[in-house]
Structure 1
């Protein structure tokens, strides 16, 4: 099936832009088509999705002047003077829920270069024609519903999800307080649907195959979200199967480690833990 290339959606922008307003006549980068080797193709079914957001100032701070001058790959996002905040890095099929690590990728191999005129409609979501092309070729071709593998359908679904989100206008650290901010400002999120990648410094949100918010699989969670000192109230399951919560005032709080794959949890408060049926640790 012949496809045009998609895009990836940007997140919240510090200045509010309408579709198409982010294009710049100085953004002339043309070498944005990917060449995908056959060995990178991994056509497997996906059972859930992740939306992943990056903070533009952090990304741009790592680049040199030659990388942000007019005509360069990152000019629009980092050198044009348009003030982007969180931008959508990816809308990623994730493979099986219970078998983390075997991710679908480039499911239909190399794709044709998408017309820049189409991409310009989405630059306020993801201000990089290179990234838009990349995301479609590597991820958009792997949607579980084949009708969503067409570029416009893929874009529409991504934009639909993106438009339901409230995103912060400042960079949030990867801690429990920040998770709570997302939960408080996005009532559609289910408990455990927000995660943070400490390696890439990206906020990620999990969705099932109906594109409904879902708890991120425990075995796929980035390492240190809701763990150790980032967890205000630790929900631990004893060897006898009893569920106890530990506040920071408890003598054993620091020694308690949360194992989500065993059903243990991090709570924002003791009240929340009790409401969930957990008992105060003796």
Structure 2
């Protein structure tokens, strides 16, 4: 078989990246999805790259945030629904404010309902309750909270820490993402009953950085 020409290689690489990327479906039928992705964000890193510049309340040291709940996302085996049309009432201000302790801000709680919760088929109160339950069931590695200085480390170290703290998981259950050279998120794939399940191929791709930045708790 003839090898692809040098001119074709970038195009083929671009095509492979497109095929591997998650596909967002604007809309979708509420409750029609395959599994959940529970996304946990390392707050100090988000603050260093984004939150500090925004003056986010989440980044105030008095909150002592480590892994916060970014969201619980309905997921297809390939791609995911978003911004679904639902007959469920939007959450109240009090409801979103109550999620601030695990999500950092009420604004994030509102955004997660609007983009992902509407596709869950649940009421806002039930969606937030399920999100909190999923978050509480994860053993977040205590060792990472003891780091007292900025580090550079392989992203695989973070995955290994989660697997050690959650022995019922497999490598296909959790993936670590990076952004702008920082560890960004730990994403855990869960059934509707919140049991660990293998992630789809567009979710399971791990960050491969060997020197990802990791900031300590503030």
The TM-score bracket by the shorter chain reads: 0.5 to 0.7
**Distance verdict in 2 for CA 1:151–1:223, change over 3 Å:** same
After superposition, the CA RMSD in angstroms is 3.1
Alignment of 1:157-172 (within 5 A): 157-168=130-141, 169=145, 170=147
1:206–1:107 Cα change, 3 Å: same
The count of aligned residue pairs is 176
The Cα of 1:178 is off from its aligned counterpart by 2.4
Distance 1:172 1:49 in 2: 30
2:194 & 2:67 partners in 1: Cα distance?
Answer: 21
- Rounded to whole Å, the distance in 2 between the matches of 1:127 and 1:51 is 16
Q: 1:65 to 1:207 in 2, by over 3 A?
A: closer
1:156: how far off? 1.5
Q: Which runs of 4+ in 1 moved over 4 A?
A: 63-66, 109-113, 170-174
> In structure 2, what is the equivalent of residue 58 of structure 1?
45
Are the aligned partners of 2:158 and 2:176 in contact in 1 as well (CA < 8 Å)? no
5+ residue gaps, structure 1: 1-38, 69-73, 230-282
Alignment equivalent of 2:92, drawn from 104, 112, 115: 115
User: Does residue 1:153 correspond to 2:130, yes or no?
Assistant: no
- The 5 A counterparts of 1:61-80 are 61-63=48-50, 67-68=54-55, 74-75=56-57, 77-79=58-60
Structure 2 gaps, min length 5: 1-24, 211-218
Q: Is 1:192 aligned to 2:169, yes or no? A: no
Contact 1:111 1:137 in 2 (8 A): no
CA distance in structure 2 between the aligned counterparts of 1:80 and 1:183, rounded to whole angstroms: 28
Query: Larger Cα Rg: Structure 1 or Structure 2?
Result: 1
Residue 72 (structure 2) aligns with = 91
1:126 to 103, 122, 129: 103
- Corresponding position of 1:270: none
Residue number in structure 2 paired with 1:138: 115
- Choose between structure 1 and 2 for higher RCO, CA contacts under 8 A separated by at least 6 residues: 2
**Do the aligned residues in 1 keep the contact of 2:96 with 2:107 (CA within 8 Å)?**
no
In the alignment, is the contact (CA less than 8 A) between 2:98 and 2:106 conserved in 1? no
TM-score (norm 2): 0.68
